[in-house]
Homo-oligomer: A and B are copies of this chain.
Amino acid sequence: MADSTTRQLYTNLAATLQEIASLSQGLHVLGWDQQVLLPSSDGATAARGKALAALSGLVHEKSTAESFGALIDELEVQPDLDEELTVVERANLKLAAIDFRKNKNLPTSFVREYREHTSLSHAAWVKARKADDFPAFAPVLAKTLDFCKQYAQYVDADRPVYDVLVAEYERNLPSTRLAEIFSELREALVPMIHTINAAEHPDTEWMDAIHWDVKKQEELCKHIAQEIGFDFTRGRLDASVHPFTSGFNTYDVRITTRYSATHFAEGILGTVHEVGHAMYEQGLPHDLDGQPVGRALSLGVHESNSLFWENFVCRSRAFWRHFFPKIRELFPDIPEDKTADDLYAAINVARPGLIRVDSDEVHYPMHIVLRWELETLLLNGEVEVDDLPRIWNERMSSYVGIAPPSDKDGVLQDVHWPEGLVGYFPTYTLGQVAAAQWAHAMREQLGDLDELIEQGEFKQILHWLNENVHKKASVPESADALLEETVGEKLSPKYLIAHLKQKYSELYGVEL
């Protein structure tokens, strides 16, 4: 018996999607190579720019071809769709249709103007930040916000602007849900932060006397990556100025990291964080490689993986106990009387700081809440761009306990708004929230998580994530849906709050 029309149409769709994904792999390899290996001459950068432009033009052409749209349209109206296609296939069709229509709805001229603007905006930000001159950047940011509003209008005029923007990174998470989650967090964390800030911090000065040899850190980090489950036959670990992870497909996932000779923790925490991202990519279903439904669900879910490994594994006492013999062997300068617990305490010092990326797990969420509040207020017109520095500084003081002496280390610190990435910030904290939910569920299902870590039973942990998170890829409609399916409850900050309360009460000897 011949295949049904529906089956044939779906096969064509999958082949087209695979071809677009294969060409995109080319783009991603070119981009990775540019960041990691490209020779330094300007001519090399310019020639690479031409290659990226030519190839991305082709990918865009293929992604918006009339014939591709017609295929989607025809498939969607097949009366036997539900019988002929599996749940995964229907989800794939849906995602392909969303992508296609979004691309089609955006006028080419608008895309070009917006891209030109963000390129100028990035340059203006670099200059303004260097000169510590927010007023010079303000009109550029105001224009970015206008572009964002237009963008949302093109993509879906019926939904609130901020919901459309967030959906670029986090599927189907409306502003109302963000407000619920972030208000609960703010209410719990602000008093905790003020108590911790006032407490006595552990002594970490002894760390400064140690020679943290970078080559040895590299050896240690490769050892840790291997042991916690990164598959080196399906990936690489290299060095770059800004650490990042690229998943070309589930068989080729590349991490870059960096090491500091003075800040020992940076290399390890950074590597484990990127390994968390990478193991998610490696854990996605091989048979869905190249299909939209085979992608990671969202940036928040991505970050829930990296932050689970960073905060719940690498920042745990058990982790340092497990790896301490190896660490002492590599760094014989560590004083005799220091133990794994001293390293654990040093790695977990929580101090108010101005810079988001240097923040610890208890202050970090408030950096995000602040940015989320400001994005929302700006798009609603409740705050003008010119007022940003004032409100930023007030809220930093109230939420984090410290106010920046200059905008350079305040409102001008992040690359996101200058690059037009509005609605992106929330995903960091959504990831931290979900990570605490994974940890809670593992404790219920696998037993004492810290015991597993101390014994080096990382395989069980990774297996749990493989089964409950990775394999589901983009089949669930949202992070909320995934969490409900997996742990029986939507995104809820109560597990993160409980974790931080317990951990920091003990570390700082205070009542939180």
- Flag whether A509 is at the interface (Cβ < 8 A): no
How many copies of the chain does the oligomer comprise?
A: 2
Report which of B30, B44, B53, B252 forms a contact with A234, defined as CB distance below 8 A: B44
A37 vs B29: C-alpha distance in the bound complex, in angstroms? 11
Q: Is the interface of A mostly helix, strand, loop or mixed?
A: helix
- Flag whether A159 is at the interface (Cβ < 8 A): no
**What does the 1/0 interface line of A1-29 toward B look like (CB < 8 Å)?**
00000000000000000110011011101
- Flag whether A84 is at the interface (Cβ < 8 A): no
- Flag whether A182 is at the interface (Cβ < 8 A): no
Which B residue's beta carbon lies closest to that of A50? B22
A432 vs B306: C-alpha distance in the bound complex, in angstroms? 56
Distance of A454 from chain B, by nearest CB (Å): 31
Contact A249 B39 (CB under 8 A): no
A41-B236 CB under 8 A given contacts A51-B26, A54-B19: no
A47 vs B26: C-alpha distance in the bound complex, in angstroms? 11
A22 vs B38: C-alpha distance in the bound complex, in angstroms? 15
Report which of B27, B47, B232, B233 forms a contact with A248, defined as CB distance below 8 A: B47
Complex interface: chain B residues within 8 A of A55 (CB): 22-23, 26, 55
Which B residue's beta carbon lies closest to that of A232? B39
- Flag whether A43 is at the interface (Cβ < 8 A): yes
A125 vs B2: C-alpha distance in the bound complex, in angstroms? 40
**What does the 1/0 interface line of A233-260 toward B look like (CB < 8 Å)?**
1111000000000001111100000000
Distance of A230 from chain B, by nearest CB (Å): 11
Q: Chain A residues in contact with chain B, CB under 8 A?
A: 18-19, 22-23, 25-27, 29-30, 33, 37-44, 46-48, 50-51, 53-55, 58, 231-236, 248-252, 286, 289-290
Further pairs besides A25-B51, A40-B233, A41-B233: 11, Cβ < 8 Å: A23-B54, A23-B55, A25-B48, A26-B51, A26-B54, A29-B29, A33-B33, A38-B252, A39-B235, A47-B251, A48-B252
